Chain A
Amino acid sequence: MRVDLTVNGQTHALEIEPRMSLLDCLRERLLLTGAHAGCEHGVCGACTVLIDGAPARSCLIFAVQADGYAITTIEGVPPGPGELSPVQDAFCESHGMQCGYCTPAMILAAHALLAGNPTPTRAEIVEAISGNICRCTGYAQIVEAIALAAERLRGRNQPAAKP
């Protein structure tokens, strides 16, 4: 079946089987391997992508259902080649990861949160990543990283304070 997928601003015409999940399509056909395959039945959240800006599990939507939506993967997050987004930067700085398997999904969930809420409380951060399982960190540094990213994003384009 033919489908036109718009991923990270680029439209791809693909011929795929209806049973191919968006996740498999991203990984195998578009070689965007940042969305990770974990449980493949909607529990772990490792495959999270943004669909029209909202986090969604790419294992629970078939690629044939996804034409016409603006899909964002972790590869679409950095502002330029070799750069990191403020959220990615904050994850590095706070070491909000260990094995890295859940990290792209966590970062996308954080991006979606901060796009709509520049001043999230700790409870709102926890709620935003509640659909993403991390089996390494105990979440503490992930929550710290998102709070740090929120602070940085709020301060962006503000004049520097005078000494």
Chain B
Amino acid sequence: MKPAAFEYARPASLDETCAMLASAEDARLIAGGQTLVPLMAMRLARPKLLVDIARIPTLTFVREEADAIVIGAATRQCVVEHDSTVRAQLPLLAKAMPFVGHAPIRSRGTIGGSLANADPAAEIALVAVTLRATSICRDVTRTFDVAASEFFLGPMLTALPAGACLVAVRFPVWCEERVGVGFQEVSARASDFAFASAAAQIALDENGICRRLELGIGAITPCPLRLDGVAKALIGTQVEPGSVRAAVSAALATIEPLADLHASAEYRRRAAATLAARAVAEAYAAAKAAEGAHAR
């Protein structure tokens, strides 16, 4: 399990990084390396040049904007997991973080690394799609945004062009008074790859009526999937369990779930329906309990 030989560079800035990516052949970015290094050890990846962006200060931050939290791509997962701003403003991301790998993986792995790797079971990608986050990307000529729902194209495949670098991700923050979140996952062992996962965020008005809802499922389809039909069906209601189940079943009727050795397509569809309903119920209960503050 030894990787093939490569050259190593540690550019000081984002400009230098983009210039390197543009001129070098077969260059790969590395930050935490928690997915790339195993691929290199198995020689499924054989980059000629590794460009280490882990210590570029402009890629390592959690920044509060008017209606969003922007997280630098090279920010380590353990930092985001324990960040007080993320906990207060992005409770769904905070709730999902402990499900990402094990603690030793999160101590090196980065937010951008997980997104750029685009594993169908990845929790951070699921939260990004569910909350309609935006990927901020950059190459030698320009900086451009890609919506999370358009960023993920398939397993290990993103819309990030060759020669571009994921710089940051912008998560919208909900300003409603009563917001609740739910995150559910099933896997063989704690912190292992999910067979199915679901993320939900709900805003309620003072009468307990749902005013806003986002629900997403992960590990079921080649990319995380936001179930907009469920939101449409439940907004304006009191989110009765019966109508949640009906809306989720309707939304899942047309998808083609992934199948592998661990979980069949039928199992994944069933698990997704159950977890989605549980995530919505969890989010609803948290929003109801929230008294004019974001539910944790």
A interface residue numbers (CB < 8 A to B):
1, 17-19, 21, 24, 39-42, 45, 48, 51, 54-57, 59-62, 64-65, 109, 126-128, 130-131
Contacts and interface: CB of A to CB of B under 8 A. Distances in A.
Given A55-B103, A130-B190, A130-B191, A60 B6 contact: no
A60 B107 contact: no
22 contacts: A18-B50, A19-B2, A19-B5, A24-B2, A39-B1, A41-B1, A42-B34, A42-B37, A45-B102, A51-B107, A51-B108, A55-B103, A57-B34, A57-B104, A57-B108, A62-B50, A64-B8, A65-B30, A65-B33, A65-B54, A128-B103, A131-B103
Contacts of A19: 2-6
B289 interface: no
B104 A55 contact: yes
A18 B33 contact: no
Interface-central residue, A1, A64, A65, by most chain B CB under 10 Å: A65
Contact of B38 (A1, A24, A60): A60
B7 A55 contact: no
B16 to A, nearest CB: 17
A126 B191 CA distance: 12
Contacts of B3: 19
Nearest to B49: A18
A126 B102 CA distance: 11
B104 A109 contact: yes
A60 to B, nearest CB: 5
B6 A131 contact: no
Given A42-B38, A45-B102, A56-B104, 10 more contacts: A18-B8, A19-B6, A41-B1, A41-B41, A56-B108, A60-B34, A60-B37, A60-B108, A128-B103, A130-B103
Contacts of A109: 104
Interface of B: 1-8, 30, 33-34, 37-38, 41-42, 50, 52, 54, 78, 101-105, 107-108, 189-191
Contacts of A130: 102-103, 189-191
A61 B103 CA distance: 15
A62 B33 contact: yes
Give the secondary structure class of A's interface: mixed
Nearest 3 CB-CB pairs, A to B? A131-B102, A40-B1, A18-B8
B126 to A, nearest CB: 21
B107 A54 contact: yes
Nearest to A37: B1
Nearest to B41: A41
B226 to A, nearest CB: 30
Contact of A54 (B1, B33, B78): B78
A62 B190 contact: no
Contacts of B104: 45, 48, 54-57, 109, 131
A19 B34 CA distance: 15
B108 A17 contact: no
Nearest to B54: A65
Given A54-B78, A60-B34, A61-B37, A42 B5 contact: no
A78 to B, nearest CB: 22
Nearest to A65: B52
A21 B2 CA distance: 8
Contacts of A60: 33-34, 37-38, 108
Given A61-B37, A130-B102, A1 B108 contact: no
Interface-central residue, B7, B78, B103, by most chain A CB under 10 Å: B103
B74 to A, nearest CB: 12
Nearest to A55: B104
A64 to B, nearest CB: 5
B37 to A, nearest CB: 5
Nearest to B189: A130
Contacts of A61: 33, 37, 108
Contacts of B54: 65
Given A41-B41, A54-B78, A17 B5 contact: yes
B172 to A, nearest CB: 30
A17 B5 CA distance: 8
